[in-house]
Structure 1
Protein backbone atom coordinates (compact mmCIF):
# COMPACT_ATOMS: atom_id res chain seq x y z
CA UNK A 1 0.00 0.00 0.00
CA UNK A 2 0.97 3.62 -0.41
CA UNK A 3 1.24 5.87 2.63
CA UNK A 4 -0.56 8.50 0.56
CA UNK A 5 -3.73 6.37 0.80
CA UNK A 6 -3.99 7.15 4.50
CA UNK A 7 -6.48 9.70 5.75
CA UNK A 8 -5.82 12.33 8.37
CA UNK A 9 -4.86 10.78 11.70
CA UNK A 10 -4.42 7.24 10.36
CA UNK A 11 -0.64 7.42 10.14
CA UNK A 12 -0.44 8.46 13.79
CA UNK A 13 -2.81 5.61 14.68
CA UNK A 14 -0.58 3.06 12.95
CA UNK A 15 2.69 4.30 14.45
CA UNK A 16 1.09 4.46 17.89
CA UNK A 17 -0.54 1.02 17.87
CA UNK A 18 0.67 -1.80 20.13
CA UNK A 19 2.62 -3.46 17.32
CA UNK A 20 4.67 -0.41 16.34
CA UNK A 21 4.92 1.39 19.67
CA UNK A 22 8.39 2.95 19.96
CA UNK A 23 9.41 1.88 16.44
CA UNK A 24 11.18 4.36 14.16
CA UNK A 25 8.70 5.86 11.70
CA UNK A 26 10.93 5.02 8.74
CA UNK A 27 10.62 1.32 9.64
CA UNK A 28 6.83 1.58 9.82
CA UNK A 29 6.72 3.42 6.49
CA UNK A 30 8.78 0.62 4.95
CA UNK A 31 6.33 -1.96 6.28
CA UNK A 32 3.36 -0.14 4.75
CA UNK A 33 5.09 0.07 1.38
CA UNK A 34 5.64 -3.70 1.29
CA UNK A 35 3.53 -5.44 -1.36
CA UNK A 36 1.79 -7.73 1.14
CA UNK A 37 0.44 -4.89 3.27
CA UNK A 38 -3.11 -4.00 2.21
CA UNK A 39 -5.55 -1.23 3.10
CA UNK A 40 -9.20 -2.18 2.55
CA UNK A 41 -12.51 -0.38 2.97
CA UNK A 42 -15.58 -2.31 4.10
CA UNK A 43 -19.22 -1.29 4.00
CA UNK A 44 -21.47 -1.78 7.01
CA UNK A 45 -22.59 -5.42 7.23
CA UNK A 46 -19.62 -6.86 5.33
CA UNK A 47 -18.05 -9.96 6.87
CA UNK A 48 -14.33 -9.25 7.05
CA UNK A 49 -12.93 -12.63 6.03
CA UNK A 50 -15.67 -13.25 3.46
CA UNK A 51 -14.93 -10.01 1.66
CA UNK A 52 -11.15 -10.51 1.80
CA UNK A 53 -9.19 -13.70 2.40
CA UNK A 54 -6.93 -12.36 5.14
CA UNK A 55 -7.23 -15.19 7.66
CA UNK A 56 -3.48 -15.37 8.28
CA UNK A 57 -3.12 -11.64 8.82
CA UNK A 58 -3.08 -9.21 11.69
CA UNK A 59 -5.60 -6.44 11.16
CA UNK A 60 -5.68 -2.90 12.53
CA UNK A 61 -8.94 -0.93 12.50
CA UNK A 62 -8.23 2.58 11.24
CA UNK A 63 -11.82 3.84 11.26
CA UNK A 64 -15.29 2.54 11.99
CA UNK A 65 -16.01 -0.53 14.10
CA UNK A 66 -16.24 -4.32 13.79
CA UNK A 67 -18.47 -6.69 15.77
CA UNK A 68 -17.11 -10.06 16.90
CA UNK A 69 -19.61 -12.94 17.14
CA UNK A 70 -19.51 -16.73 17.33
CA UNK A 71 -20.05 -18.60 14.03
CA UNK A 72 -23.08 -20.33 15.59
CA UNK A 73 -24.80 -17.11 16.66
CA UNK A 74 -24.73 -13.63 15.19
CA UNK A 75 -27.09 -12.31 17.85
CA UNK A 76 -24.60 -12.20 20.70
CA UNK A 77 -21.77 -9.70 20.25
CA UNK A 78 -18.68 -10.96 22.07
CA UNK A 79 -16.76 -7.75 21.51
CA UNK A 80 -16.67 -4.61 19.40
CA UNK A 81 -13.39 -3.58 17.82
CA UNK A 82 -13.03 0.16 17.48
CA UNK A 83 -10.47 2.51 16.01
CA UNK A 84 -6.95 1.36 16.91
CA UNK A 85 -7.92 -2.25 17.70
CA UNK A 86 -5.66 -5.08 16.55
CA UNK A 87 -7.25 -8.41 15.66
CA UNK A 88 -6.44 -11.72 13.96
CA UNK A 89 -3.85 -13.11 16.37
CA UNK A 90 -5.92 -16.28 16.93
CA UNK A 91 -5.77 -17.14 13.22
CA UNK A 92 -2.31 -15.84 12.42
CA UNK A 93 -0.63 -19.25 12.77
CA UNK A 94 -3.74 -21.42 12.46
CA UNK A 95 -4.17 -23.00 9.03
CA UNK A 96 -7.60 -24.40 9.92
CA UNK A 97 -10.13 -22.82 7.56
CA UNK A 98 -12.93 -22.99 10.15
CA UNK A 99 -13.53 -19.55 11.62
CA UNK A 100 -13.05 -19.16 15.37
CA UNK A 101 -15.15 -15.99 15.32
CA UNK A 102 -17.06 -13.97 12.74
CA UNK A 103 -16.04 -10.34 12.25
CA UNK A 104 -18.70 -8.09 10.75
CA UNK A 105 -18.35 -4.39 9.99
CA UNK A 106 -20.87 -2.62 12.21
CA UNK A 107 -20.22 0.60 10.28
CA UNK A 108 -18.24 1.60 7.23
CA UNK A 109 -14.63 0.97 8.18
CA UNK A 110 -11.05 0.98 6.97
CA UNK A 111 -8.64 -1.78 7.97
CA UNK A 112 -4.95 -2.30 7.24
CA UNK A 113 -3.82 -5.94 7.07
CA UNK A 114 -0.33 -7.26 7.81
CA UNK A 115 0.17 -10.83 6.47
CA UNK A 116 2.02 -13.45 8.49
CA UNK A 117 5.03 -13.55 6.16
CA UNK A 118 5.48 -9.78 6.44
CA UNK A 119 5.20 -9.87 10.22
CA UNK A 120 7.78 -12.64 10.44
CA UNK A 121 10.20 -10.60 8.33
CA UNK A 122 9.89 -7.38 10.33
CA UNK A 123 10.10 -9.27 13.63
CA UNK A 124 13.38 -10.81 12.53
CA UNK A 125 14.70 -7.45 11.35
CA UNK A 126 13.40 -5.35 14.25
CA UNK A 127 13.45 -7.10 17.62
CA UNK A 128 11.30 -4.41 19.24
CA UNK A 129 8.38 -5.33 16.96
CA UNK A 130 8.63 -8.95 18.16
CA UNK A 131 8.70 -7.78 21.79
CA UNK A 132 5.70 -5.52 21.14
CA UNK A 133 3.77 -8.44 19.68
CA UNK A 134 4.63 -10.63 22.67
CA UNK A 135 3.37 -7.89 25.00
CA UNK A 136 0.19 -7.64 22.95
CA UNK A 137 -0.38 -11.41 23.18
CA UNK A 138 0.36 -11.36 26.91
CA UNK A 139 -2.33 -8.73 27.35
CA UNK A 140 -4.79 -10.87 25.40
CA UNK A 141 -3.99 -13.93 27.52
CA UNK A 142 -4.49 -11.91 30.71
CA UNK A 143 -7.81 -10.57 29.40
CA UNK A 144 -9.04 -14.06 28.50
CA UNK A 145 -7.91 -15.45 31.86
CA UNK A 146 -9.95 -12.75 33.60
CA UNK A 147 -12.98 -13.63 31.47
CA UNK A 148 -12.60 -17.34 32.23
CA UNK A 149 -12.15 -16.62 35.93
CA UNK A 150 -15.36 -14.62 35.90
CA UNK A 151 -17.27 -17.47 34.27
CA UNK A 152 -15.78 -20.07 36.62
CA UNK A 153 -16.62 -17.95 39.66
CA UNK A 154 -20.25 -17.61 38.59
CA UNK A 155 -20.55 -21.34 37.86
CA UNK A 156 -18.86 -22.27 41.15
CA UNK A 157 -21.21 -20.05 43.14
CA UNK A 158 -24.24 -21.50 41.34
CA UNK A 159 -23.04 -25.06 41.99
CA UNK A 160 -22.44 -24.30 45.68
CA UNK A 161 -25.86 -22.67 46.05
CA UNK A 162 -27.54 -25.72 44.54
CA UNK A 163 -25.62 -28.04 46.86
CA UNK A 164 -26.60 -26.00 49.92
CA UNK A 165 -30.25 -25.93 48.87
CA UNK A 166 -30.32 -29.69 48.42
CA UNK A 167 -28.57 -30.44 51.72
CA UNK A 168 -30.21 -27.97 54.10
CA UNK A 169 -31.79 -29.33 57.29
CA UNK A 170 -33.90 -27.42 59.81
CA UNK A 171 -32.43 -27.22 63.30
CA UNK A 172 -34.81 -25.27 65.53
CA UNK A 173 -35.17 -21.89 63.86
CA UNK A 174 -32.01 -22.31 61.84
CA UNK A 175 -31.39 -23.79 58.42
CA UNK A 176 -28.12 -25.70 58.54
CA UNK A 177 -25.88 -27.56 56.12
CA UNK A 178 -23.26 -29.84 57.65
CA UNK A 179 -20.24 -30.76 55.58
CA UNK A 180 -19.21 -34.37 56.17
CA UNK A 181 -15.97 -34.31 54.21
CA UNK A 182 -13.13 -31.99 53.32
CA UNK A 183 -13.34 -28.93 51.11
CA UNK A 184 -11.34 -30.86 48.52
CA UNK A 185 -13.93 -33.63 48.56
CA UNK A 186 -16.77 -31.13 48.16
CA UNK A 187 -14.94 -29.41 45.29
CA UNK A 188 -14.56 -32.78 43.58
CA UNK A 189 -18.25 -33.54 44.16
CA UNK A 190 -19.23 -30.23 42.58
CA UNK A 191 -16.66 -30.67 39.79
CA UNK A 192 -15.02 -27.32 40.48
CA UNK A 193 -11.56 -26.28 41.69
CA UNK A 194 -10.91 -25.92 45.40
CA UNK A 195 -9.84 -22.29 45.00
CA UNK A 196 -13.06 -21.56 43.09
CA UNK A 197 -15.05 -23.19 45.89
CA UNK A 198 -13.35 -21.05 48.53
CA UNK A 199 -14.16 -17.94 46.49
CA UNK A 200 -17.78 -19.06 46.13
CA UNK A 201 -18.07 -19.53 49.91
CA UNK A 202 -16.57 -16.09 50.47
CA UNK A 203 -18.91 -14.46 47.95
CA UNK A 204 -21.96 -15.96 49.68
CA UNK A 205 -20.62 -14.97 53.09
CA UNK A 206 -19.98 -11.38 52.02
CA UNK A 207 -23.45 -11.13 50.47
CA UNK A 208 -24.98 -12.15 53.80
CA UNK A 209 -26.39 -15.40 52.44
CA UNK A 210 -24.50 -17.72 54.78
CA UNK A 211 -22.47 -17.96 57.96
CA UNK A 212 -19.75 -20.59 58.01
CA UNK A 213 -18.42 -22.04 61.23
CA UNK A 214 -16.07 -24.89 60.49
CA UNK A 215 -18.08 -27.60 58.76
CA UNK A 216 -21.42 -26.08 59.72
CA UNK A 217 -23.04 -23.57 57.38
CA UNK A 218 -26.06 -21.55 58.38
CA UNK A 219 -28.37 -20.21 55.71
CA UNK A 220 -29.28 -16.71 56.87
CA UNK A 221 -30.85 -15.14 53.76
CA UNK A 222 -34.18 -13.56 54.77
CA UNK A 223 -37.10 -15.46 53.30
CA UNK A 224 -35.37 -18.83 53.39
CA UNK A 225 -34.34 -20.99 50.48
CA UNK A 226 -36.68 -19.38 47.95
CA UNK A 227 -34.73 -16.10 48.21
CA UNK A 228 -31.45 -17.95 48.51
CA UNK A 229 -32.16 -19.77 45.27
Structure 2
Protein backbone atom coordinates (compact mmCIF):
# COMPACT_ATOMS: atom_id res chain seq x y z
CA UNK A 1 0.00 0.00 0.00
CA UNK A 2 1.04 3.61 -0.52
CA UNK A 3 1.39 6.14 2.28
CA UNK A 4 -1.12 8.96 2.43
CA UNK A 5 0.05 12.56 2.27
CA UNK A 6 -0.75 13.00 5.98
CA UNK A 7 1.21 9.86 6.95
CA UNK A 8 4.21 10.87 4.87
CA UNK A 9 4.32 14.36 6.40
CA UNK A 10 4.05 12.93 9.92
CA UNK A 11 6.81 10.36 9.38
CA UNK A 12 9.26 12.52 7.41
CA UNK A 13 11.05 14.02 10.48
CA UNK A 14 12.00 10.47 11.54
CA UNK A 15 12.71 8.99 8.11
CA UNK A 16 14.92 11.84 6.90
CA UNK A 17 17.30 11.28 9.85
CA UNK A 18 18.19 7.73 8.76
CA UNK A 19 21.44 7.06 6.89
CA UNK A 20 19.52 5.84 3.82
CA UNK A 21 17.94 9.23 3.07
CA UNK A 22 20.87 11.43 4.10
CA UNK A 23 21.20 14.39 1.74
CA UNK A 24 17.93 13.70 -0.12
CA UNK A 25 15.79 16.82 -0.51
CA UNK A 26 12.54 16.70 1.49
CA UNK A 27 10.42 17.38 -1.58
CA UNK A 28 12.09 14.53 -3.47
CA UNK A 29 11.80 12.18 -0.49
CA UNK A 30 8.09 12.98 -0.11
CA UNK A 31 7.44 12.23 -3.78
CA UNK A 32 9.28 8.91 -3.54
CA UNK A 33 7.39 7.79 -0.43
CA UNK A 34 4.02 8.68 -1.96
CA UNK A 35 4.69 7.03 -5.31
CA UNK A 36 6.02 3.66 -4.12
CA UNK A 37 4.45 0.79 -2.20
CA UNK A 38 5.60 0.69 1.41
CA UNK A 39 3.98 -0.78 4.52
CA UNK A 40 3.21 1.11 7.72
CA UNK A 41 2.93 -1.69 10.30
CA UNK A 42 2.15 -1.86 14.03
CA UNK A 43 3.37 -4.53 16.47
CA UNK A 44 2.28 -5.35 20.02
CA UNK A 45 4.80 -5.84 22.81
CA UNK A 46 6.46 -9.25 22.45
CA UNK A 47 5.32 -9.73 18.86
CA UNK A 48 7.91 -10.99 16.37
CA UNK A 49 8.82 -8.40 13.76
CA UNK A 50 11.36 -10.44 11.80
CA UNK A 51 12.92 -13.90 12.14
CA UNK A 52 14.08 -16.91 10.11
CA UNK A 53 10.58 -17.47 8.74
CA UNK A 54 10.77 -14.26 6.68
CA UNK A 55 9.45 -14.94 3.17
CA UNK A 56 10.05 -11.67 1.36
CA UNK A 57 13.28 -9.70 1.95
CA UNK A 58 12.68 -6.22 3.32
CA UNK A 59 14.20 -3.21 5.04
CA UNK A 60 12.45 -1.75 8.08
CA UNK A 61 12.67 1.65 9.75
CA UNK A 62 11.58 1.77 13.40
CA UNK A 63 9.16 4.69 13.73
CA UNK A 64 8.09 4.35 17.36
CA UNK A 65 8.67 2.09 20.34
CA UNK A 66 11.66 -0.23 20.54
CA UNK A 67 12.74 -3.65 19.30
CA UNK A 68 14.99 -6.31 20.84
CA UNK A 69 17.49 -8.13 18.62
CA UNK A 70 18.07 -11.73 19.74
CA UNK A 71 20.38 -14.47 18.47
CA UNK A 72 18.84 -17.92 18.84
CA UNK A 73 20.75 -21.20 18.88
CA UNK A 74 18.93 -24.42 19.71
CA UNK A 75 16.90 -23.78 22.85
CA UNK A 76 19.06 -20.87 23.98
CA UNK A 77 19.22 -17.24 22.92
CA UNK A 78 21.19 -14.10 23.64
CA UNK A 79 19.92 -10.51 23.54
CA UNK A 80 22.32 -8.64 21.25
CA UNK A 81 20.98 -5.08 21.14
CA UNK A 82 17.93 -2.85 21.42
CA UNK A 83 16.76 -0.81 18.44
CA UNK A 84 15.18 2.60 18.95
CA UNK A 85 13.31 5.13 16.83
CA UNK A 86 14.94 5.80 13.46
CA UNK A 87 17.10 2.67 13.42
CA UNK A 88 16.91 0.16 10.56
CA UNK A 89 16.58 -3.61 10.47
CA UNK A 90 16.34 -6.37 7.87
CA UNK A 91 19.45 -5.55 5.83
CA UNK A 92 20.79 -9.10 6.17
CA UNK A 93 17.73 -10.37 4.28
CA UNK A 94 18.39 -8.25 1.18
CA UNK A 95 20.17 -8.82 -2.14
CA UNK A 96 21.33 -12.39 -1.56
CA UNK A 97 23.31 -14.01 -4.36
CA UNK A 98 22.09 -17.50 -5.18
CA UNK A 99 20.21 -19.41 -2.49
CA UNK A 100 18.87 -17.19 0.28
CA UNK A 101 20.20 -17.80 3.76
CA UNK A 102 17.92 -17.72 6.83
CA UNK A 103 17.66 -14.32 8.51
CA UNK A 104 20.36 -14.54 11.22
CA UNK A 105 18.52 -12.95 14.17
CA UNK A 106 15.06 -12.56 15.67
CA UNK A 107 13.65 -9.05 16.15
CA UNK A 108 10.91 -8.67 18.74
CA UNK A 109 8.83 -5.61 19.61
CA UNK A 110 9.92 -4.37 23.04
CA UNK A 111 6.71 -2.40 23.50
CA UNK A 112 3.97 -1.15 21.19
CA UNK A 113 5.99 -0.46 18.07
CA UNK A 114 5.47 0.82 14.54
CA UNK A 115 7.73 0.47 11.51
CA UNK A 116 7.92 1.45 7.87
CA UNK A 117 8.69 -1.68 5.84
CA UNK A 118 10.17 -1.43 2.34
CA UNK A 119 10.25 -4.63 0.27
CA UNK A 120 13.35 -5.47 -1.77
CA UNK A 121 11.76 -4.72 -5.15
CA UNK A 122 10.56 -1.33 -3.90
CA UNK A 123 14.03 -0.61 -2.54
CA UNK A 124 15.48 -1.34 -5.99
CA UNK A 125 13.07 1.20 -7.45
CA UNK A 126 14.20 3.76 -4.87
CA UNK A 127 17.84 3.18 -5.76
CA UNK A 128 17.17 3.46 -9.49
CA UNK A 129 15.30 6.74 -9.04
CA UNK A 130 17.77 8.31 -6.62
CA UNK A 131 21.41 7.21 -6.82
CA UNK A 132 22.28 9.08 -3.61
CA UNK A 133 20.23 6.53 -1.65
CA UNK A 134 22.16 3.69 -3.27
CA UNK A 135 25.43 5.42 -2.36
CA UNK A 136 24.24 5.91 1.24
CA UNK A 137 23.36 2.22 1.45
CA UNK A 138 26.78 1.13 0.15
CA UNK A 139 28.57 3.52 2.53
CA UNK A 140 26.66 2.05 5.45
CA UNK A 141 27.63 -1.49 4.43
CA UNK A 142 31.27 -0.42 4.21
CA UNK A 143 31.02 1.00 7.73
CA UNK A 144 29.60 -2.29 8.99
CA UNK A 145 32.51 -4.19 7.41
CA UNK A 146 35.01 -1.97 9.24
CA UNK A 147 33.07 -2.38 12.48
CA UNK A 148 33.11 -6.18 12.20
CA UNK A 149 36.82 -6.16 11.32
CA UNK A 150 37.51 -4.17 14.49
CA UNK A 151 35.48 -6.66 16.51
CA UNK A 152 37.52 -9.52 15.03
CA UNK A 153 40.76 -7.67 15.74
CA UNK A 154 40.17 -7.54 19.47
CA UNK A 155 39.28 -11.25 19.49
CA UNK A 156 42.47 -12.39 17.71
CA UNK A 157 44.97 -10.26 19.66
CA UNK A 158 47.91 -12.51 20.79
CA UNK A 159 47.36 -12.19 24.55
CA UNK A 160 44.35 -11.71 26.79
CA UNK A 161 45.77 -8.39 28.02
CA UNK A 162 46.09 -7.09 24.45
CA UNK A 163 42.55 -8.16 23.60
CA UNK A 164 41.16 -6.40 26.67
CA UNK A 165 43.25 -3.27 26.03
CA UNK A 166 42.18 -3.19 22.37
CA UNK A 167 38.54 -3.32 23.45
CA UNK A 168 39.00 -0.53 25.99
CA UNK A 169 40.68 1.69 23.39
CA UNK A 170 38.25 1.10 20.54
CA UNK A 171 34.91 -0.22 21.83
CA UNK A 172 34.22 0.81 25.43
CA UNK A 173 31.75 3.68 25.77
CA UNK A 174 33.70 6.40 27.52
CA UNK A 175 35.76 3.77 29.32
CA UNK A 176 32.65 2.46 31.05
CA UNK A 177 32.24 -1.33 31.29
CA UNK A 178 28.52 -1.97 31.69
CA UNK A 179 28.87 -5.71 32.31
CA UNK A 180 32.06 -7.62 33.05
CA UNK A 181 30.27 -10.89 32.26
CA UNK A 182 29.13 -9.64 28.84
CA UNK A 183 32.61 -8.28 28.06
CA UNK A 184 34.26 -11.59 29.00
CA UNK A 185 31.81 -13.45 26.77
CA UNK A 186 32.43 -11.02 23.90
CA UNK A 187 36.20 -11.58 24.19
CA UNK A 188 35.76 -15.37 24.51
CA UNK A 189 37.46 -15.48 27.91
CA UNK A 190 36.34 -16.28 31.46
CA UNK A 191 35.48 -13.55 33.96
CA UNK A 192 38.46 -14.64 36.06
CA UNK A 193 40.76 -14.13 33.04
CA UNK A 194 39.22 -10.70 32.44
CA UNK A 195 39.81 -9.62 36.05
CA UNK A 196 43.41 -10.88 35.92
CA UNK A 197 44.00 -9.02 32.65
CA UNK A 198 42.62 -5.76 34.08
CA UNK A 199 44.76 -6.17 37.19
CA UNK A 200 47.84 -6.85 35.06
CA UNK A 201 47.17 -3.85 32.80
CA UNK A 202 46.73 -1.61 35.82
CA UNK A 203 50.00 -2.80 37.37
CA UNK A 204 51.81 -2.12 34.08
CA UNK A 205 50.42 1.39 33.98
CA UNK A 206 48.35 0.83 30.83
CA UNK A 207 45.03 1.59 32.51
CA UNK A 208 43.57 3.16 35.63
CA UNK A 209 40.54 1.39 37.10
CA UNK A 210 37.87 2.69 39.46
CA UNK A 211 34.83 0.44 39.77
CA UNK A 212 33.42 0.04 36.26
CA UNK A 213 35.27 3.11 35.00
CA UNK A 214 38.51 2.29 33.19
CA UNK A 215 40.86 4.92 31.73
CA UNK A 216 43.48 3.99 29.13
CA UNK A 217 46.77 5.74 29.94
CA UNK A 218 49.73 6.82 27.82
CA UNK A 219 50.79 4.74 24.80
CA UNK A 220 54.31 4.45 26.16
CA UNK A 221 53.12 1.96 28.77
CA UNK A 222 51.44 -0.37 26.28
CA UNK A 223 54.35 -2.68 25.49
CA UNK A 224 53.82 -6.43 25.63
CA UNK A 225 56.49 -9.12 25.55
* Shared fold, TM over 0.5: yes
1:205 Cα deviation from its structure 2 partner: 6.9
Secondary structure, counterpart of 2:19 in structure 1: coil
The within-5 A match list for 1:157-196 is 157=160
Q: Decide which structure has the larger Cα Rg and report it.
A: 1
Corresponding residue of 1:114 = 118
Corresponding residue of 2:70 = 69
1:54 Cα deviation from its structure 2 partner: 6.4
Q: CA separation in 1, counterparts of 2:113 and 2:129? A: 31
Greater Cα shift, 1-10 or 59-68: 1-10
1:59 Cα deviation from its structure 2 partner: 0.8
Q: How many pairs were matched up?
A: 168
Secondary structure, counterpart of 1:76 in structure 2: strand
2:161–2:201 contact (8 Å) kept in structure 1: no
Q: CA separation in 1, counterparts of 2:21 and 2:161? A: 44
Q: TM-score, normalised by structure 1?
A: 0.62
Secondary structure, counterpart of 1:93 in structure 2: coil
Corresponding residue of 1:22 = 23
1:53 Cα deviation from its structure 2 partner: 4.7
Structure 1, unpaired ranges of 5+: 161-201, 210-216, 218-229
Q: TM-score, normalised by structure 2?
A: 0.63
C-alpha RMSD of the superposition: 3.3
1:31–1:37 contact (8 Å) kept in structure 2: no
1:57–1:115 contact (8 Å) kept in structure 2: yes
Q: CA separation in 2, counterparts of 1:3 and 1:139? A: 34
